[in-house]
């Protein structure tokens, strides 16, 4: 009597992020029975795409993010994770912000990661690439503040952007 082997479950989508300090996060989505979705709502009707998770908003940048972006970009700990030099002036940050504001509002453009409970800017995230081979894959860039790291938001951001790719 030969036991029937378990059928192989093929991934629906794989998503990964690699950060400069070497902490990698990966998520594999199989189907709705294999994971608890991170996205609790998506808003894109008449306004730029915003993803909502249990603890976060992932949304396009706004001009009002200038101060928070500057505080984030000048932090040497953030700069080391982002693999850039800390910003030395508001002009440098505002130039970057203007560039991002002029781009389409979707996850292929850098987005703000905002803590829902406090409204605090806790980092940035961007969908870098989506590849359609089997299984489909995506690469995400994320860089969080120290607070974002201590709250372990990377995996939540990763899963939300991964889910957005298959919705």
**Is residue 21 packed enough to be buried (19+ CB in 10 Å), middle (13-18) or exposed (0-12)?**
exposed
**CA end-to-end span of the chain, whole Å?**
43
- Alpha-carbon distance 56 to 39, whole Å? 9
Q: Sorting pLDDT into bands at 50, 70 and 90, what band is 27?
A: very low
Q: Read off the pLDDT of residues 103-161 as tens digits, 9 standing for 90 and up.
A: 877 667 889 999 999 999 999 988 777 666 666 666 778 889 999 988 988 888 888 88
Q: Read off the pLDDT of residues 59-85 as tens digits, 9 standing for 90 and up.
A: 989 999 999 999 999 999 888 877 779
Which residues make beta-bridge pairs with 19? Answer: none
Is there a contact between 162 and 15 (Cβ–Cβ < 8 Å)?
A: yes
3-state secondary structure of 161: helix
- pLDDT the model gives residue 69: 95
Q: Is the pLDDT of residue 7 over 80?
A: no
Alpha helices, DSSP H, located in 47-137: 66-73, 76-82, 90-101
**Is residue 156 packed enough to be buried (19+ CB in 10 Å), middle (13-18) or exposed (0-12)?**
buried
List CB contacts of 125: < 8 A, sequence separation 6 or more.
Answer: 58, 107, 110, 111, 113, 140, 141, 142, 157, 161
Tell if the pTM clears 0.85, that is, is over it.
Answer: no
């Amino acid at each position: 009597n030969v036991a029937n082997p378990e059928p192989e479950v093929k991934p629906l989508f794989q998503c990964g992020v690699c950060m400069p300090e070497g902490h990698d996060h990966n998520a594999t989505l199989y189907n709705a029975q294999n994971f608890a979705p991170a996205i609790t709502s998506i808003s894109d009707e008449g306004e730029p795409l915003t993803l909502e998770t249990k603890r976060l908003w992932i949304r396009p940048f706004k001009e009002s993010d200038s101060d928070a972006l500057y505080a984030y970009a000048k932090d040497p700990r953030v700069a080391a994770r982002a693999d850039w030099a800390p910003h030395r002036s508001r002009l440098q940050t505002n130039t970057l912000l203007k560039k991002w504001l002029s781009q389409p509002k979707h996850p292929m453009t850098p987005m703000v990661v905002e803590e829902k409970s406090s409204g605090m800017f806790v980092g940035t995230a961007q969908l870098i690439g989506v590849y359609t081979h089997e299984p489909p894959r995506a690469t995400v860039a994320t860089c969080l503040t120290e607070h974002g790291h201590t709250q372990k938001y990377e995996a939540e951001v990763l899963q939300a952007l991964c889910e957005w790719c298959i919705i």
